[in-house]
Structure 1
């Protein structure tokens, strides 16, 4: 499937500011960036740096001009798909070193507080069957409610309130899967079908020796998702981190399917 992506950001800047930007679809084997263009304001500094796990890139910017960004891309999604519920989990002692960080609690994914809950609720299930049951439980018990959470909301907060947006669904999914001794990480993505359209967040789980996308909101699916970057939680994959005084005026995200002629 080919996706057309158009993203615009408009931020007021008060004096020189440093910005770390991560909004471009990653160039990785599971997706092919056919064409891409990013328009930026007048800059004092521009540099590309590797993002976490070498998936995608971040851009360092330094500017005193209004931060107006436009990103356009065409991405072909070519990842291998699998039914998560049929996949086995790897024994923890056989996990590759690069997955170990994603077993541990993190700022928003307090997995160490959920061990008793996952054993009581899902202890009879293993591997992908447990992951699928966690996904279905979250989908059934959470209400998608824009504005119901903020930048400080953790997986534990979402578990108690039973409401949130995509990042909250992803954080809770990740926390419960990690509490089951299965590596899970946060993925910032562009997703076809997301409403309201915006940057989207999903979980990735490590099963059968590979990472697999799980969207607990049910709004998109692995074959309709272009990955931007990954991290332990949302703190690692912010689309914009500012080191200075900026104010968001507007932002838009459009994701559409391109049908080949």
Structure 2
């Protein structure tokens, strides 16, 4: 399915600064960027950085004097996904994981799976099927954590979220990841453009590695799972931040959109136990 994605961000830069933005649609085997345009007004030379943690297409540029800049990104993206029948999935032994999967089992800055081991095993450890186990995790988060805009900040971790029982999409994703890792299910943070998200914004969810597939889960249940355009994946939000600013610059406005580029799109909404998993590969 093809999507048109768009971002416009305005920054007031108060002194010489370097900005690293992570808003470009990711190029993968199953997500093709058909066309894209990244511009800065007034013009500033940019550099795309190679990914060193997770998957991303970060763009770096320097603003050498105080000024207001406008960053615009637009792209047409063709992404392919498949549905996965959870009944046929099995749990993979850690000894069989490829080395690239292992880092997604470890605790990370925002996903302290070691602190949540007892909680995860008490609540979900008796579920045998790994897909059903992750569905149970996402359902528990949905019903027991209040989605509340502005309730958390950049320091909020999964442990904080399970304690305070409130958060936004980033916090829901971190908690899902931490609980999965506590149950020896590799999990990673997923950020992207999301169709039908209200209000429009970037969206965070997570992928769990089950039976050789990275399968998408979203405990917020705010968007259709097949309406995502992937920007980045990583251990947690530290690897996938939309912006890193080195200097003195303030984001003063942002516009984000994601719309189908062709007719016939059918939203695949999150369902109950009969839900079939989405894999973007």
Tell me, yes or no, whether TM beats 0.5: yes
Give the structure 2 partner of residue 219 of structure 1: 222
Matched position secondary structure for 2:41: coil
Matches within 5 A, 1:43-122: 45-52=45-52, 55-64=55-64, 65-84=67-86, 87-122=89-124
Q: Which position in structure 1 is the counterpart of 2:272? A: none
Deviation per CA, 1:18-49: give whole Å up to 9, x if none: 11111011111222222211111346652111
List aligned pairs for 1:80-229, cutoff 5 A: 80-84=82-86, 87-126=89-128, 127-229=130-232
Aligned residues: 261
Is this contact kept in 1: 2:55–2:234, CA < 8 A? no
1:125/1:142 CA distance change after superposition, 3 Å = same
- Displacement of 1:84 after TM fit? 4.7
User: 1:102-159 CA deviation, whole Å, 9 max, x = no partner?
Assistant: 1111111011011111111111113112111111111111221101111111111111
Task: Measure the CA separation in 2 of the matches of 1:161 and 1:51.
Answer: 34
Residue 236 of structure 1 pairs with residue 239 of structure 2: yes
Q: What is the DSSP-based 3-state SS (H/G/I as helix, E as strand, rest coil) of the residue aligned with 2:154?
A: coil
Q: Give the deviation of 1:5 after TM superposition.
A: 1.0
**Structure 1 length as normaliser, TM-score?**
0.94
The structure-2 alpha-carbon separation of the partners of 1:151 and 1:194, relative to structure 1 and needing over 3 Å to count, comes to same
Equivalent in the alignment of 1:27: 27
Judged with a 3 Å threshold, the aligned counterparts in structure 2 of structure 1 residues 54 and 146 are, in CA distance, closer, same or farther, namely closer
**CA RMSD of the aligned region, Å?**
1.7
- C-alpha contact 1:52 1:230 (8 A) present in aligned 2: no
- Structure 1 runs not aligned, ≥5 long: none
TM-score, structure 2 normalization: 0.88
Distance 1:71 1:115 in 2: 41
Worse overlay, 35-44 or 249-258: 35-44
Counterpart Cα distance in 1 of 2:5 and 2:25: 9
SS at match of 2:110: coil
- Is the CA contact 2:42–2:70 (under 8 Å) kept in the aligned structure 1? no
- 1:20·1:58 contact (CA, 8 Å) conserved in 2? yes
CA–CA distance in 2 between the matches of 1:216 and 1:142?
A: 10
Pairwise CA distance, 1:88: 1.9
